[in-house]
């Protein structure tokens, strides 16, 4: 704020400096085609230098034409603009512009004046912005993070549950991988995050849902005609392998394949981005096992199918920092059971017979 006050004080000083610098640069001799008539200036002079004079001068200097500056930049009449420039030159005490066959040209004094005029305008704008910021109370913020794909399922319900608490609060929402979300919680950049549990000091977790894994495959793949896919049918298919870092999803997949008595060596391994996995499914005609939430951003050429039998699941939790004292966070945690019940109920309705999410 001290820096902003200093900037605000500089603006009027710059106007004085402008006149001083230009008077030193200006020469007593006038060019043959003077832009101003000094006798006319005396009669037209209305007052001291103002910021509008500087804006007019800069516009004419940059356009190189009174007509263009008046019509394109300033939306004023040319005679009025000419008078403003004459007033400015009278106040400074030297000629700043002259007419030539090429239009308006700056004198040596005008060139010296231009840089300082731009600086004065910039400082004046900075002063005004500082004043506006000081007059506007700073809103508290509540930052939420979502494992990519989960924002579709949870964000509307979270904002609905916290509607009253969030009325005068700035809400920040981001999506990322669980490891990145945990890091942001650790550093205090997020208040809450919907993510997979991470081994991170000082973080607390509350379980919110078990998410089933589904088969992701091209929409014209032979297996796509089935209502549900037996894991044994995945043997021999081009399989997309998930990265071991983060390891949570990879552990769930490997454990499921082992329990099913299946050994699958991924053709493409180490993928740590769901969007990339889906793109690879489409481009290489591969299959993948991914959490059901990835169905929220499948492209038209890729579909999902449930697994036959008891599908593997992966836990989703809400994470937060132990030291976070946000009252909104406390309110959210006190209502989390109601929140999970609402989302679970909606998920059951969406997966019921005849729904878009129902097996086909």
pLDDT of residue 289: 92
Q: What is the pLDDT along the chain (360 residues), one digit of tens a residue?
A: 444 444 444 444 455 455 554 555 554 444 434 444 434 443 444 457 788 888 888 888 888 888 888 887 888 888 888 888 888 888 888 888 888 777 788 888 888 888 888 888 888 888 888 888 778 767 788 999 999 889 888 998 888 888 888 888 888 999 988 888 999 999 999 999 999 998 888 899 999 999 999 999 999 999 999 999 999 999 999 998 887 766 788 889 999 999 999 998 888 777 777 888 888 898 889 999 999 988 888 888 999 999 999 999 999 999 999 999 999 999 999 989 888 888 777 666 655 444 334 333
pLDDT of residue 190: 94
Q: What are phi and psi of 169, to 5 degrees?
A: -125, 140
pLDDT of residue 351: 54
Does the bond joining 246 to the residue before it have cis omega, within 30 degrees of 0? yes
pLDDT of residue 120: 87
Beta strands in the chain (DSSP E): 97-100, 103-106, 141-147, 170-176, 192-195, 203-218, 240-242, 268-271, 288-291, 302-305, 313-321
How far apart CA 38 and CA 9 sit, in angstroms, is 33
How far apart CA 56 and CA 14 sit, in angstroms, is 17
How far apart CA 293 and CA 309 sit, in angstroms, is 19
Pair 343, 209: CB distance under 8 Å: yes
Pair 200, 186: CB distance under 8 Å: yes
Nearest alpha carbon to residue 266 among 257, 228, 275: 257
pLDDT of residue 317: 95
Q: What are phi and psi of 341, to 5 degrees?
A: -65, -40
350 Cβ neighbours under 8 A, 6+ residues apart = 356, 357
pLDDT of residue 348: 64
pLDDT of residue 261: 92
pLDDT of residue 15: 52
């Amino acid at each position: 704020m001290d820096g902003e006050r200093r900037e605000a004080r500089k603006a009027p000083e710059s106007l004085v400096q402008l006149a001083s610098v230009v008077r030193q640069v200006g020469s007593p001799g006038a060019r043959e085609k003077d832009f101003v008539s000094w006798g006319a200036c005396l009669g037209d002079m209305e007052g001291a230098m103002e910021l509008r004079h500087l804006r007019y001068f800069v516009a004419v200097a940059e356009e190189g034409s009174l007509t263009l500056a008046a019509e394109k930049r300033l939306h004023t009449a040319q005679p009025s603009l000419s008078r403003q420039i004459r007033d400015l030159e009278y106040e400074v005490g030297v000629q700043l512009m002259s007419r030539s066959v090429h239009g308006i040209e700056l004198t040596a004094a005008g060139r010296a004046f231009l840089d300082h005029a731009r600086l004065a305008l910039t400082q004046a704008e900075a002063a005004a912005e500082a004043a506006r910021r000081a007059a506007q109370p700073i809103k508290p913020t509540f930052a939420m993070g979502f494992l990519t794909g989960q924002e579709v399922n949870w964000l509307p319900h979270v904002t609905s549950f916290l509607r009253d608490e969030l009325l005068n609060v700035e809400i920040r929402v981001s999506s990322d991988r669980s490891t990145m979300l945990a890091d942001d919680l650790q550093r205090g950049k997020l208040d809450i995050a919907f993510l997979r549990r991470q081994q991170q000091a000082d973080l607390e977790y509350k379980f919110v849902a078990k998410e089933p894994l589904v088969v992701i495959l091209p929409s014209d793949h032979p297996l796509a005609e089935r209502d549900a896919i037996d894991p044994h049918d995945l043997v021999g298919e081009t399989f997309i392998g998930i990265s071991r870092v983060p390891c949570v999803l990879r552990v769930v997949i490997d454990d499921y394949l082992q329990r099913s008595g299946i050994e699958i060596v991924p053709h493409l391994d180490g993928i740590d981005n769901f969007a990339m996995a889906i793109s690879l499914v489409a481009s290489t005609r591969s299959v993948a096992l991914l959490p059901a939430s990835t169905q929220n951003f499948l492209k038209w050429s890729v579909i999902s199918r449930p697994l036959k039998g008891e599908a593997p699941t992966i836990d989703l939790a809400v994470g937060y920092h132990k030291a976070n004292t946000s009252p909104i966070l406390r309110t959210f945690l006190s209502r989390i059971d109601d929140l999970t019940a609402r989302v679970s109920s909606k998920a059951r309705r969406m997966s019921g017979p005849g729904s878009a999410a129902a097996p086909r």
